[in-house]
Amino acid sequence: MNIISLGLTIKYASKYKVTRIDFNSTQTLLDADVIFWDVKSFEDEFALKSQLRNEAESYYNNIKRRKHEFSEFFKLGRTLVITSPSFLDYTFDTSKQLNFVSILPIEKPITIEKSGTSIQANNMSFMQEFLERAGKYLHYNYEFQRPVGVPIMFIKDTKYVVSQFINIENGLIVFLPNFKLPTSDVDTHIWFCDLILTLIDDIKAYKKNEDISKKIETPEWAKKIEILGEKNEKEALLLLLIQKMEIESKIKTHETKLKEYNHLKILFTGTGEELEGIVRLVFLEMGFQIEEPEKGRDDLIIHHGDFVAVIEAKGVDGSSGEKHAAQLQKWVSAYHEKQEKEPKGILIANTFRKIPLHERTQEDFPHQMLKYVERMRHCLMTGIQLLYLLLDFRSGKLTIEDIVTRLSETVGILEYGNQADYFDSLPNQQ
């Protein structure tokens, strides 16, 4: 699946990377199976560029090409997801007018600006499930005064529509509320975009069922008649449908749990944003509050009661080193200087990350760095030890207070966990 973005900074969707393109580029929209279009962000970019005459002219000249591409796009049964449908009118060169809604086979949506976060789904079960899982990231900026499609989300306890979908040829336009995802949290990007792709599939399935239902025109009086054996079939089907729903729900639950286990493996395989993201999620699950660092900082700041810690997470091919501890101390000192409070410095190192676990026999933290670490009173731990803490927290063996005590009192290398106690299987056990 190929995904294209216009004006939206989604980076990842499942295993598919999102390509952000320029409206005037030669990249065709027909490359995409799904297009995400944040109209307001897109128009803000255009407003800046349109101050240059040639840029505005280029947009104007490309309208026809993009309109033709969208026409073909929908005939192919593909989906456009729109957020912030401002669709402003622009005039340049005193006479030329431009509105980007003209590239779509719909009339300009009649909207008014309204903002909020209290959103309610319609009575479709898949919409309620989507909102239950994604709701905390959603906020609306517009209300559709006269929706022309199927309303799917409303301002809570009202009939004011903030989301709808429209059938276009064989394809689909889905208007969604805005969403804001943590910039560096790849896992959340992947998870959230998976939800949207699943939602698109659910809407298409609903649309298909509706189309089939419309073709069967049984008179109302005939629907009340049951031919011999029909009642038994209805009851059997109802029972199977209930069982199917229960099984599908259980399957989804187990699939979600297995995805979570795979994400946890980043703690002993990952580096960079992936590792930082999962470390953040682990501390959140264990009950810590997260303080967003200032721009230009890549550390993590956690709180619980009076306890505050600055965390540096590193994934390395070999052992950790004093340079990592020095970088951590830089963040610790900066926090101390600004907040006038001394935080605990914690270095989480995913060492020898490309080597299978049972083959990792070398020191994670070389002896030569320990003198510096002890002077700075840092706590050193591996990514896999963080996994041990999480698993013991989940099982009830540890409380958040226990974890705080271990982290705050450890100076040097944290002594915790035995590998054999935390895995159902390892290669050397087979």
Amino acid at 353: R
Which pLDDT value is given to residue 296? 64
Q: How far out from the chain centre does Cα 364 lie? A: 33
Q: In this predicted structure, what is the pLDDT of residue 96?
A: 76
The residue whose two tokens read 């216009």 is: 6
Residue 129 backbone phi and psi in degrees, to 5: -65, -40
Residues pairing with 317 in the sheet? none
Opening angle at CA 392, ends 387 and 396, nearest 5: 150
Secondary structure, 3-state, the chain:
CCEEEECCCCCEECCEEEEECCCCCCCCHHHCCEEEEEHHHHHHHHHHHCCCHHHHHHHHHHHHHHHHHHHHHHHCCCEEEEECCCCCCEEECCCEEECHHHHCCCCCCCEEEEEECCEEECCCHHHHHHHHHHHHHEEEEEEECCCCCEEEEEECCCCCEEEEEEEECCEEEEECCEECCCCCCHHHHHHHHHHHHHHHHHHHHHHHHHHHHHHCCCCHHHHCCCCCCHHHHHHHHHHHHHHHHHHHHHHHHHHHHHHHHHHHHHHHCCCHHHHHHHHHHHHHHCCCEEECCCCCCCCEEEEECCEEEEEEEEECCCCCCHHHHHHHHHHHHHHHHHHCCCCEEEEEEECCCCCCHHHCCCCCCCHHHHHHHHHHCCEEEEHHHHHHHHHHHHHCCCCHHHHHHHHHHCCEECCCCCHHHCCCCCHHHC
Q: Going residue by residue through the chain, which has 430 residues, state the pLDDT in tens, using 9 for 90 and above.
A: 789 998 876 665 556 677 888 888 899 999 999 999 999 988 888 888 776 656 777 888 899 999 999 999 999 999 999 999 999 988 876 677 889 999 999 999 999 999 999 999 998 999 999 999 999 999 999 999 988 899 999 999 999 999 999 999 899 999 999 988 876 677 787 888 888 999 999 999 888 877 655 555 778 888 888 899 989 998 999 999 999 989 988 998 999 889 999 999 999 999 998 999 999 999 999 999 998 777 666 679 999 999 999 999 999 999 999 999 999 999 999 989 888 899 999 999 999 999 999 889 999 999 999 999 999 999 999 999 999 999 999 999 999 999 999 999 999 999 999 888 999 887 764 4
pTM value? 0.51
Distance in angstroms (rounded) separating the CA atoms of residues 85 and 63: 17
Domains annotated for the chain, with CATH where assigned, are: 3-179 (no CATH), 268-429 (3.40.1350.10)
